[in-house]
Amino acid sequence: MRPTSPAADASIPARVLRSARPSGTRVAVGPVEIGGSAFVVAAGPCAVESAAQTEEVAEAVAAAGAHLLRGGVFKPRTSPYAFQGLGEPGLSILGRSGGRHGLPVVAEVLETSQLASMIDHVDVLQVGARNMQNFALLRALGKVRRPVLLKRGFAATVEEWLLAAEYLLDGGNTQVILCERGIRTFETATRNTLDLASVALVKQRSHLPVLVDPSHATGLRELVIPMALASAAAGADGLLVEVHAKPEEALCDGRQALTPELFAELMQRLPAVLQSVGRSLHPPASSAPAVRAISP
């Protein structure tokens, strides 16, 4: 694909552009529809640390009305000495907790070799910011019949982000969800800078659903609810939020994790904001039957 400027939409032979599907893409994840008029919330720990920790969070977020359970099993950590995730054993922990509470699960895939084991346990495959331009991984995920959540790279332009999504669509996977998670700027007071303008822009330029991750975008628990509400007002299709029952004991990203109480507060405050922009909260996933039979 030849390089183009963001304004030159017409010259990009792109499946990702709204003109390719003006009515918008809706991604079905079991009973949950992402990209429709209803707003969807994926919540859970940064990392699956143990069965008990995952279950405690899953129970809390399901009770508060979350639609999907997130949890990292293979963790991309800046330091090689930091907790790298439980690996494969974490997949069944996550899958079982999701199944128990009727929540489809989201987990990050770091490399192609992990796909075979993930496909049995994971409903949405997340591509993290660090891997947004891992073209071998994108090509492999283009061949998979499973929704992919594509996070924006922290130094990626909107055009690069959309072209990364284009790899998935070009490979034949139409079930793509974008996720803005903050970009790196000169600002150091927050972990990243939440680029909400990109959310409104991408909603106009592309037919794909867009989630916002206010946890990685800010790095600070006290900013997560305000930015989550702002995301809803800006036209996002949903959120990806980190929640931990004991954030001070979290093995990863505790400083940005909401407690179950704060998560419940967020879920209670979202409907008023959504109503002001003509949307509503998706009905709880747990009110519907479990998505896939996940073996006990």
The residues binding ligand PEP (CB under 6 A) are 46, 72, 76, 128-130, 151, 181, 213, 216
Closest approach of ligand PEP to the CB of residue 25, in Å:
21
Q: Pick what 254 binds: Mn ion, ligand PEP, none; C-beta below 5 to 8 Å, kind-dependent.
A: none
**139: exposed, middle or buried (Cβ count in 10 Å: 0-12, 13-18, 19+):** middle
Name the nearest CA neighbour of 180 among 146, 209, 139: 209
C-beta of 78 vs 204, nearer to Mn ion: 78
The C-alpha atoms of residue 188 and residue 174 are separated, in whole angstroms, by 37
Closest approach of Mn ion to the CB of residue 45, in Å:
8
Tokens 């009305």 sit on residue: 65
Q: Pick what 76 binds: ligand PEP, Mn ion, none; C-beta below 5 to 8 Å, kind-dependent.
A: ligand PEP
Q: Pick what 24 binds: ligand PEP, Mn ion, none; C-beta below 5 to 8 Å, kind-dependent.
A: none
Name the closest residue to ligand PEP (Cβ): 128
Cβ-contact 164, 195 below 8 angstroms? no
**105: exposed, middle or buried (Cβ count in 10 Å: 0-12, 13-18, 19+):** buried
Q: Pick what 181 binds: Mn ion, ligand PEP, none; C-beta below 5 to 8 Å, kind-dependent.
A: ligand PEP
How far from chain centre, in Å, is Cα 79?
23
C-beta of 142 vs 238, nearer to Mn ion: 238
Q: Pick what 121 binds: ligand PEP, Mn ion, none; C-beta below 5 to 8 Å, kind-dependent.
A: none
C-beta of 173 vs 256, nearer to ligand PEP: 256
C-beta of 242 vs 274, nearer to ligand PEP: 242
Closest approach of ligand PEP to the CB of residue 287, in Å:
26
C-beta of 67 vs 216, nearer to ligand PEP: 216
Name the residues that contact Mn ion, by CB under 5 A. 46, 253
Closest approach of ligand PEP to the CB of residue 178, in Å:
12
Closest approach of Mn ion to the CB of residue 62, in Å:
20
Q: Pick what 128 binds: Mn ion, ligand PEP, none; C-beta below 5 to 8 Å, kind-dependent.
A: ligand PEP
Q: Pick what 73 binds: ligand PEP, Mn ion, none; C-beta below 5 to 8 Å, kind-dependent.
A: none
Closest approach of ligand PEP to the CB of residue 18, in Å:
24
C-beta of 181 vs 282, nearer to Mn ion: 181
Closest approach of Mn ion to the CB of residue 280, in Å:
28
